[in-house]
Amino acid sequence: ETGVTQTPRHLVMGMTNKKSLKCEQHLGHNAMYWYKQSAKKPLELMFVYNFKEQTENNSVPSRFSPECPNSSHLFLHLHTLQPEDSALYLCASSQEMAGSTNEKLFFGSGTQLSVL
């Protein structure tokens, strides 16, 4: 299934490293999202982009920096992360932004991030 693809699948980085997560959707959707999933916690929304414009920043620390060059691509740039940032980072897309009454999210397979 190639609807929403994320790379890399796994990432190990030190606290001083800079890395980027990439997401690409092939569904022609207009909205893209970054979610964080930590162990024993619900999915947490981080950022929302609608037609390339950021519409939501859910109080995310500045060490996470999103970039959306076009409606099909979304990046999450990481720098000076902390061990507590270790989690599964999921990209998702939807036809419209999650504001219509029956919006469905399509998720990528995620990047499992470990910060040492």
Partner 1 sequence: RKEVEQDPGPFNVPEGATVAFNCTYSNSASQSFFWYRQDCRKEPKLLMSVYSSGNEDGRFTAQLNRASQYISLLIRDSKLSDSATYLCVVLNYGGSQGNLIFGKGTKLSVKP
| Phi, psi dihedrals of residue 16, rounded to the nearest 5° | -100, -5
Q: Which of 22, 56, 75, 95 binds partner 1 (CB under 8 A)?
A: 56
Half-sphere exposure of 2 (CA within 13 A, CB side): 1
Name the residue nearer to partner 1 (CB basis): 13 or 98: 98
Q: Does 55 bind partner 1 (CB under 8 A)?
A: yes
User: Measured from the CB of residue 44, what is the shortest distance to partner 1 in angstroms?
Assistant: 8
Q: Which stretch binds partner 1 (CB under 8 A): 11-19, 21-29, 39-47, 64-72?
A: 39-47
Q: What does the angle CA 56 – CA 59 – CA 61 come to, to the nearest 5 degrees?
A: 120
Name the residue nearer to partner 1 (CB basis): 75 or 106: 106
Measured CA to CA, the distance from residue 97 to residue 114 in angstroms comes to 30
Q: Does 26 bind partner 1 (CB under 8 A)?
A: no
**What tokens appear for 99 in the block?**
């504001």
User: Measured from the CB of residue 23, what is the shortest distance to partner 1 in angstroms?
Assistant: 11
Half-sphere exposure of 110 (CA within 13 A, CB side): 13
Interface residues with partner 1 (CB under 8 A) are 40-43, 45, 48, 55-56, 90, 97-110, 112
